[in-house]
Amino acid sequence: MFEKVLIANRGEIALRIHRACREMGIHTVAVHSTADADAMHVRLADESVCIGPPPSKDSYLNIPALLTAAAITGADAIHPGIGFLSENARFAEMVEEHGFTFIGPTPEHIRMMGDKVTAKETVAKLGVPTVPGSAGGVPNVEEAIKIAEKIGYPVLIKAAAGGGGKGMKVATDSKNIREMYSLARGESRAAFGNDEVYMEKYLAHPRHIEVQLLGDTHGAALHFGERDCSIQRSHQKVVEEALSPGLNATEREKVCNLAASVIKKLGYRGVGTIEFLYENGQFYFIEMNTRLQIEHTITEMIIGIDLVREQIRVAAGLPVSYEQSAITFTGHAIECRINAENPQTFAPSPGRVRSFHPPGGLGVRVDSALYDGYKVPPHYDSLIAKLIVHGANRNECLLRLRRCLEEFVIDGIETTLPLHRRIVADPDFINGHYDIRWLESFLGKK
């Protein structure tokens, strides 16, 4: 097992990884920009290294600085966390080349699944259904028009190297496909340095279902059930549930076994998530995330297993601690992502936290790096806390979640807590009647 792990990230996920390491007897190294000098993960880590000024490109994306920090502190391994370099195949390669262990999948698997076109082609060959669309990248608008006429409007034009909704445009008819194609390529080029796009049929009312997976170097390929991530705004997840209220037991077994078979055939190592759109009883692959997910927390709540601990064990060459038959699902869990944003306009709201009072009680977990007096910097993602609630069933979970949202206090900055209070009181959400377009409609209500 590792003696010292460098955590190449910040915020609540850095703190989450630190906690798993300390419970395993592993020393931690925190890296930070000058803006994060007083961050909680920096305060709690055994050692810390400043790796640059506030801009991400000069700090958390600065590969030479990260490798230097690992070298001077004598780290054995590097955990990339979520975002930043967590799905950067070149970073994973350089980590290994410099004698450290990358706590994640192989560079080959990161590269394979990081390109959405290659990922789609790969899983299709393994028998996984995909959304009807282009066989690969769409090189020009004339080809885009031909494909759209074949599969039918509306169509979704997506960045091949994309994620988070960037480089994604909907063309509703032949009149606006040229504009949407051009916009998608331009956004993709600006966000990812790659303007390749592909096309899919635009599904009207699908649910977003993802399956939590874990593979090791000893041939294990496990699933830990699915999560429903359909409550989204601008393709960004807002609320997640485990298990999905939209699937029955037969559908659950079908999609989870299908996803596990993919990583088994690929010989995948580490945690990962395969994501699907689900509509009218059909599942369609959309992407694979070759990293830990923000919402891994709700899966942990219903299975009682520390996924970060398992991720670290697998990276150290140890086998997964469990057999598939031992994985059972108990109760229901929901996560609300709390952002430092205006709850109506969603404008960022950095600043000093005057008061932070998280809820507590049975079945309640809050993952956050906030504390009284902490200054939320303006340079990074606006996620500041995750409220995770577990109950014996979905109804108990909803009642507990509503109580927790009433108790949660974050003063000094604007947050999306008021939005979450509205969502959990809505009859459609209470009854589980929602899809990936539900929140946009909900936000449009008077």
Q: Indicate which residues carry an active-site annotation.
A: 291
Nearest Cα to Cα of residue 353 among 381, 373, 367? 373
How many angstroms separate the CA atoms of 133 and 153, rounded? Answer: 11
Q: CA–CA distance from 413 to each of 37, 53, 338, 387, 418 (Å)?
A: 20, 23, 12, 17, 13
How many angstroms separate the CA atoms of 276 and 172, rounded? Answer: 22
Report residue 98 CA to chain centroid gap: 28
Instruction: Write out the two tokens for 234.
Output: 């601008």
How many Cα atoms are found within 13 Å in the side-chain-facing hemisphere of 166? Answer: 15
Nearest Cα to Cα of residue 275 among 110, 123, 90, 171? 123
Query: Parallel, antiparallel, or unpaired: how do β-strands 77-79 and 168-171 relate?
Result: unpaired
What residue ranges in 359-446 does DSSP mark as E strands? 364-368, 375-376, 383-391, 409-411
